[in-house]
Amino acid sequence: MANQNHEQQLKGEIKLIDQLGRAIKLTQKLRATVTKVFDDLGNGLPNTQGNEKTLLNSLQKTLLAVNNDFSELEKLGSGINRDQSSAVANTSYLNFDSSLDKGPIYLELLQSYKWMNKVTEYSSTCHSSGQLMLSRSVFGSTVRAKRLRRSPAIHAIPTQQIDSFISSLNSQFPQMKIDVYRPLGTSTILLISVRQTLRAMVALRGLTIEWVKVKAVSEDFFTEDGKLDIWSRSRYQVFQKVTEHACCAILHFYHTVMPNAAIRSFLMWLNSYQSLFSAPCSKCGKYLQDGVPPTFRDMRLCQPMHELCRQ
C-alpha cells in the first residue's frame, strides 16, 4: 500500500517536472513573440513605410501569436498550480538522496518552482495589458471603433503642436538639450542631455510619456546601424537605479487632462539630477552609500536621497 502511494507520488512529480519543462519552453516562445512585437514597434517593419494598413496587419498577426502563446501557457500553468503545494513538499525528500548525482536536483526544482511563480505573475500582467492592447486595436467592434474615433483622443496631437511645445521646453530648461526623433513617423522620441551628468530617452505618445531610459553621457542610444535603441539599459548600476526612479516618476506626474504640465513637472524633476554626483544625501548627509551616490530624488522638492535612506 505504501509502495503504491509512493509510486503515485513519484508519477505525479515526474508529470509535474514534465509540465514545468513544457511551461519553460512555452514561456521562451512567448518571450520571443513579445520581443518581436516590441522590436517591430521600435525598429519599424520593412516595406511598410507610409502604408499604415500593412503595418497594422503585420502587428495584428504578431499580437495574435502573442495571444495564442499566452493562452497555451495559461492553460498549462493552471494545471500546474493545482498540484504544486503537495508536489513541492514531497520533492524535499530528494534532498536526502545520498547519490551525489542527484544532489542538485532538489535545488534546481526549487529554482524552477520560484521561476514558475514569477512566470504566472508576469503572464497575468501581460495578459491584462495584452487584452487592453487588443481592445484598442483593430480587434474592437466597429461600434467601439466608431466611438473611439469620436472621442477626444489626447494622443492624437498634431506633430507641429508637439514640436512647438518642445521648443518652449528648450527655452524653459536651458540646462537641458532636447533633441527630437520620430523613427516611426508619428511617435516622438526625445533625447535629453542633462548637463554632463546623464542622458535620458523619453518616448511620447501624443504628449503622454510612455517610456523612459536613463544612461550615462558616454553611452549611446543608437545601434551600430544608426537605429534608435530604446530597450537596452545602461551598463552602470547608478543609471539603472535612476531609470527605475524615472519610471516611477512618469506614473507620479501622469495627467490625463494636462499632459503638458506632466512633462514639465517630469523634466523639472529630471533636471535635479544634474547634481547626481555632487550633492550629498538630504537624510544622512553622506555622498556615497555602498559606493553609490544618492540616486533617488523626492517627487515634490527633488531632494537627493540614497536608496536605503528613503525608508
Residues in touch with Zn ion (CB under 5 A): 281, 283-284, 306, 309
Query: CB of residue 286 vs Zn ion: minimum separation in angstroms?
Result: 6
Nearest residue to Zn ion, using CB?
A: 281
Rounded to 5 degrees, φ, ψ at 86 are -70, -40
End-to-end CA distance of the chain: 56
Residue closer to Zn ion (CB basis): 162 or 281: 281
Residue closer to Zn ion (CB basis): 105 or 302: 302
Enumerate the β-bridge partners of residue 192.
178, 200
Residue closer to Zn ion (CB basis): 101 or 290: 290
Contact 162, 186 (CB under 8 A): no
Instruction: Please state, in angstroms and rounded to a whole number, the distance separating the CA atoms of residues 264 and 156.
Output: 19
Half-sphere exposure for 1 (CA within 13 Å, toward CB): 0
Contact 243, 271 (CB under 8 A): no
Instruction: Please state, in angstroms and rounded to a whole number, the distance separating the CA atoms of residues 144 and 205.
Output: 21
Residue closer to Zn ion (CB basis): 24 or 292: 292
Query: CB of residue 273 vs Zn ion: minimum separation in angstroms?
Result: 16
104: buried, middle or exposed (CB in 10 Å: 19+, 13-18, 0-12)? Answer: exposed
Query: CB of residue 216 vs Zn ion: minimum separation in angstroms?
Result: 22
CA-nearest of 162, 137, 161, 134 to 148 is 137
Query: CB of residue 239 vs Zn ion: minimum separation in angstroms?
Result: 19
Residue closer to Zn ion (CB basis): 260 or 275: 275
Residue closer to Zn ion (CB basis): 127 or 283: 283
Instruction: Please state, in angstroms and rounded to a whole number, the distance separating the CA atoms of residues 102 and 110.
Output: 14
Query: CB of residue 271 vs Zn ion: minimum separation in angstroms?
Result: 21
Query: CB of residue 145 vs Zn ion: minimum separation in angstroms?
Result: 52
Residue closer to Zn ion (CB basis): 259 or 304: 304
Find the angle CA(64)-CA(114)-CA(14) to the nearest 5 degrees. Answer: 85
Query: CB of residue 65 vs Zn ion: minimum separation in angstroms?
Result: 47
Rounded to 5 degrees, φ, ψ at 289 are -135, 115
